[in-house]
Chain A
Amino acid sequence: MNATSQLKFRDPVLGRALGDKLNSVVAELGRSPVSVMHVCGSHEQAIARFGLRSAFPRELDVVMGPGCPVCITDVPEVDEGVALALQGVRVCTYGDMLRVPGTVKSLADVRGDGARIEVVYGIDQAIALARETTEEVVFFATGFETTAVATAAALLAGVPKNFSVLSAHKYIPPVMEIVAEMPGTRIEGFLAAGHAAVITGSGVFEDFVKAHRIPVVVAGFEPLDILAALVRLVELVRDRTPEVVNMFPRCVSREGNRVAQEQLWKVFTPVGGRWRGIAHVPNGNLRLKEEWSAFDARRRFTIDVSRLWDYAPPKLLGQCICGEIMSGSRGPKDCPLFGKECVPENPVGACMVSTEGTCRIWHQYGGHLDLRGVS
């Protein structure tokens, strides 16, 4: 009857067995807390969706890292999109970006003021829109390697002359370095996002592991994927064997998708830049290369963001702890605004906006993900 229970990677019986195994491996370590971090909003979604936290041992702290591409899109980047829209350009973007607060206004705010913002599911829809008109259409491109490759492939395939890209794409591997080097970090291992690793290959993490002596396990997104990857990760912590282990081999290889990588680096170049609330991340931002200038909205238009800054920033923003939440040092429950002033319909911080944002996920699933105490 229920299709979910028939899916191979959603078998609750196997799930409980893996949960038991996780408990025993953590118990062997004999200390608390054992802290590991995932860097993917989809992992947090799955953990919350399936109630996995209630199955984790109390000694294991699975911390949410900066894995939500919408959340780490920086305020000035949002401002650029907003300014372009106010300049009369049609701005296409993913639905999640609409309500991310800029310095003063979000894209949704200026849409309410009459600017033309189109929500699209992918770059193809934005290109199709551009083909139907002679007006300038800008795709406000956000996301990690996964969506950046789609942007690159679309540009390589050819786009109409009135189409350009405002890239806020980010690249995950550099931010893991930032977290690993944060003073006082307690992260002992990383779960890496399986879908990004499909592109980059698990090999991309080898230098990181060598340099920081922290294990990395590549994980898929079904509940069994996550549980099995956590078991393996805690084993690596226990055995003090910092390695890269690919626990998502049905999709991920060591080399990754070479064609996609070639496309990615043909179009983009990594540059340093701020991730919202986190830090300046060297090589963390993907910008269009020089030869793609004609399709780079930043070069094509004079984006005037200064007129957006004539207002004082909202007071509440000062209390927002999104940055600490995304770097894993605190959780939504530590934020005085969570579920009170800051709710999905009226977000203060970016983490409450995106469906991959930690605060939004916690709020969506009741704000209380640990029901170990409920009988």
Chain B
Amino acid sequence: MNPIPSLHKRDLQIAMRHGGGGRAMRMLIEEVFMRGASDLPVDGVGLAAMDDGAALRIGDQYLIVTTDSHVIHPLFFPGGDIGRLSIAGTVNDLAMMGATKLLGLTCAVILEEGLSREVLERVQASMQATCREVGVPIVTGDTKVMGKGELDALVINTTGVALTSRVVRDNGLRVGDRVIVTGTVGDHGLAVMATRNKLQLAGELKSDVAPLFDLVQRVLAVGGESIVAMKDPTRGGVASALHEMAGKAGVGMLVSEADVPVSEAARAASELLGIDPLHVANEGKALIGVRPEAAERVLAAIREHPLGRDAAIIGTAIAEPKGKLVLDTGFGRRLLAEPEGEPLPRIC
């Protein structure tokens, strides 16, 4: 419908939207980092797949590897902090690739000159607590300091390695498959934004940041071969993740807005800020693509998990229009566009 424009003149410089998880970021990666990426063969899932991580064949197993740098302002926000985020974010990417055994995480930090040691220790304690919650150790790390003003407080990069015998990609949807979201959407991004804007909201709006490894183990155990695609809807939100899943699978998607779980506080914030919760980052949710006959069974299992109580089936893969999301609002239908970038920068 709309031909995707190539890099515009202004894209000679990096803008904040290039880190927003939407179309702008995808195009930057395709146009810069993918160049020559397929020259060296990868045995398994590599960069060209643009999945949540890589899967490298080792004998009859796969080593899952993923890496993520975490930058968020403020460092501490309702429901979490950069420490918890840096562990959960990487663990979730491993889980989305179908990892069944976590091996370890690396942790590289870059600190701004002048950062208080107390802040750093709080962040470290939060990282450790989250690692214990999942049962994965940090096995190696790196520390650098940069001058005042050269970065904002603290950047954390974590890399995760894990094993699985069955990789779950993000491109496995077929027409008729259902997509489950494991809980309410938009909480993380809206909580961060409400904090930054000092919004006074009724009800408790807090980030959903949480490691999903345990929940996903349940999904894989109950769903088995019926689990055909997984993706965590972080930056760019559910809309961006569903676009990727539909586009890679060559299907369309019909999404029922009334079925999308949104907490009352997130709804209020989204109305106030004029931002669609479907476009906002989550840090403790997964989109699970499942064969139709297993959908209800998997949904029931997810709902029994503490992190999955609000799970719902929100979409069905359809034949046309390919690569597009059709949103049924209850009043009519419209396309759910792929967001250009996250509506607010530096949130995860």
Docked-complex contact A355 and B274, CB < 8 angstroms: yes
Binary A-proximity of B1-37 (CB < 8 A = 1, otherwise 0): 1110100111000010100000010000000000000
Q: Which residues of B contact A355 (CB under 8 A)?
A: 274
Asked whether, in the complex, the Cβ of B331 is within 8 Å of the Cβ of A369, the reply is no
Report how far A2 CA is from B277 CA in the complex, Å: 12
Interchain CB contact under 8 A, B337 and A51: no
Q: List A contacts of B258 (CB < 8 A).
A: 2, 4-5, 12
Q: A15-B331, A365-B337, A371-B333 are in contact. Are A340 and B310 (CB under 8 A)?
A: no
| 9-residue interface stretch from A73-81, A160-168, A302-310, A341-349 | A341-349
**Residue of A5, A16, A49, A52 with most chain B CB atoms under a 10 A cut-off:** A49
Compute how far the CA of A374 lies from the CA of B321 in the bound complex, rounded to whole angstroms: 8
Whose C-beta in chain A lies nearest to the C-beta of B203?
A3
Asked if B335 is an interface residue, CB under 8 A from chain A, the answer is yes
Query: Are B261 and A366 touching (Cβ within 8 A)?
Result: no
A223 beta carbon closer than 8 Å to chain B: yes
A71 lies within 8 A of chain B by Cβ: no
- With A4-B267, A374-B321, A374-B326 already in contact, the answer to whether A366 and B331 are too (CB < 8 A) is no
Report A28-56 CB contacts with B as 1/0, cut-off 8 Å: 00000000000000000000111111110
A100 shortest CB reach to chain B, Å: 15
Chain B, Cβ-Cβ closest to A48: B334
**Minimal beta-carbon separation of B290 from chain A (angstroms):** 20
What count of chain B residues pass the 8 Å CB interface test?
41
Residues 61-114 (chain A) with a chain B CB within 8 angstroms: none
Contact indicator B335/A371 (Cβ below 8 Å): yes
Judge whether A211 is part of the interface by a CB distance below 8 angstroms.
no
Which single member of B257, B320, B327 contacts A4 (CB below 8 Å)?
B257
In this assembly, does A258 line the interface, its C-beta being within 8 Å of a C-beta of chain B?
no
Q: How far is the CA of A54 from the CA of B329 in the complex (A)?
A: 11
Query: Residue of B at shortest CB range from A45?
Result: B274
Report if A2-B262 is in contact (Cβ < 8 Å); known contacts: A48-B334, A365-B334: yes
User: Given contacts A340-B2, A363-B337, A366-B336, are A4 and B262 in contact (CB under 8 A)?
Assistant: yes
A55 and B274 contact, CB distance less than 8 A: no
> Within 8 Å CB of B331, what residues of A?
12, 15-16, 19, 50-52, 55, 223, 227
> A212 vs B268: C-alpha distance in the bound complex, in angstroms?
41
- Tell me whether A5 and B324 are in contact (CB under 8 A): no
Given A4-B257, A355-B274: A344 touches B340 (CB 8 Å cut-off): yes
Nearest-neighbor residue (CB-CB) of B324 within chain A: A366
User: Contact flags (1/0) for A346-375 with B, using CB distance below 8 Å?
Assistant: 100000000100000001111111010010
Among B3, B5, B10, B320, which residue has the most Cβ atoms of chain A within 10 A?
A: B5
Complex Cα gap A121–B136 (Å): 44
Which B residue sits closest to A342, measured CB to CB?
B5
Q: Is B259 an interface residue (CB 8 A)?
A: yes
Q: CA–CA, A16 to B333, complex, Å?
A: 12
Does the CB pair B3–A368 fall under 8 Å? no
- Which B residues are in CB contact (< 8 Å) with A55? 331-332
Complex Cα spacing A111 to B197, Å = 21
A339 at interface by CB-CB < 8 Å: yes
Query: A355 CA to B276 CA in the complex, in Å?
Result: 13
Chain A's closest residue to B13 (CB) is A112
User: In the complex, are the beta carbons of A345 and B340 less than 8 A apart?
Assistant: yes
Contact B337 A340 (CB under 8 A): no
Find A339's partner among B2, B262, B267 (CB 8 Å cutoff): B2
The CA of A121 and the CA of B197, in the complex, are separated in Å by: 10
Residues of chain B with a CB closer than 8 A to A365's CB: 334-337
Taking a contact as CB atoms under 8 Å apart, the answer to whether A367 and B2 are in contact is yes
Partner of B5, one of A54, A121, A341: A341
Point out the residue from B1, B5, B260, B334 that lies within 8 Å of A343, measured CB to CB.
Answer: B5
Q: Which of A274-325 contact B (CB under 8 A)?
A: none
Contact call B1/A340, Cβ cutoff below 8 A: no
Q: Contacts A50-B332, A52-B332 hold; do A340 and B8 have CB atoms under 8 A apart?
A: no
Shortest CB-to-CB span from B105 to chain A, Å, is 35
A contact residues around B341 at 8 Å (CB): 345
Q: How far is the CB of B213 from chain A (nearest CB, A)?
A: 26
In angstroms, Cα B243 to Cα A366, docked, is: 12
Which A residues, 198 to 239, have Cβ-Cβ distances below 8 Å to chain B?
223, 227
State A223–B340 Cα separation when bound (angstroms): 26
CB pair B335–A368 under 8 Å, yes or no, is: yes
A-B pairs, top 5 by smallest CB distance, nearest first, are: A366-B335, A12-B330, A51-B332, A339-B2, A51-B334
Q: A16-B331, A338-B2 are in contact. List 15 more A-B contacts (CB 8 A).
A: A2-B259, A15-B330, A50-B330, A51-B331, A52-B332, A54-B332, A223-B331, A339-B2, A345-B24, A345-B341, A346-B5, A346-B9, A346-B10, A364-B337, A374-B333
Q: Could you tell me which A residues sit within 8 Å of B by CB distance?
A: 1-5, 10, 12, 15-16, 19, 48-55, 121, 223, 227, 338-341, 343-346, 355, 363-369, 371, 374
A-B contact pairs, 8 of them (CB 8 A): A1-B312, A3-B264, A5-B330, A12-B330, A50-B330, A51-B334, A223-B331, A343-B340
